[in-house]
Amino acid sequence: MNEPTTAHNRQPTGEGSQGCRRVLLKLSGEALMGDQSHGIKPEVLDYLAGEIRAVTAAGVETGLVVGAGNIFRGMAGSASGMDRSTADNMGMLATVINALALHDALERHGVAARVLSALAMPTVCEPFSRQKAFHHLAKGRVVIFAAGTGNPYFTTDTAAMLRALEIRADLVCKATRVDGVYDQDPLRNPNAVRFDHLSFQEVLSRQLKVMDSAAISLAMDNAMPIMVFDMMVAGNMRQAVSGKQVGTLIS
């Protein structure tokens, strides 16, 4: 199936908006650990699958990018002396493991899903192409984009923004363990102040650790809004895509 030929205009996000037709959900690899120090916790997979099922049940086409910090982080490997390209390739492969785990959880919860990998590995998943992504989204399947951009030196934040733009998403949902963006780490400073809304330029100038600067710059250049919210509050994901502000909106 080819890319839709009709114009796709992003819906406004916030009070009174009509919600989203298509979203890209960004999850960190650490989100899959739960209270473990590493790896994947099955209960977290089941919870996330249920939250995503509520989004798809509302008719929202859903793409998903997951990191690999629960298994291997390329920058950490590079910092310890490993060749950066090699380390990043290992990190991209680790995202495929997480993608397959999420795929399995979604299918077990009755949600059709497909894994599209930027690194070709046809025995376990499909290779990425925009045409395949549009086809699966049109069929109501969750598309899990694995292996980052397929290139070293790019994070999964940048991969998420790139895929969101490629599939013409209305919104990037950055699911975290806190209820939005703060001026300081709220887990370390109880006096940290939460923002309801930020501009892309404010995120860059304040050096707020929302997504890396390449991802924020891509979003700014292409007017792609980002909603940052607490994924562990049941229903937040569904509310975010329906146009309700449940965290910090960056636009």
* Binding site per annotation, positions for ATP: 26-29, 69, 73, 176, 182, 185
- SS3 (DSSP) at 115: strand
Which residue type, as a one-letter code, is found at position 135?
H
Residue ranges of the binding site for UMP: 88, 149-156
Q: Please report, in range form, the residues annotated as the binding site.
A: 26-29, 69, 73, 88, 149-156, 176, 182, 185
Count CB neighbours of 100 within 10 A: 16
Kind plus residue range of the DSSP H or E element containing 158:
helix 156-166
Q: Are 62 and 106 in contact (CB under 8 A)?
A: no
Find, among 43, 53, 51, 88, the residue nearest to 68 by Cα: 88
Type of residue numbered 132: K
Of 99, 204, 83, 202, the closest CA to residue 160 belongs to 99
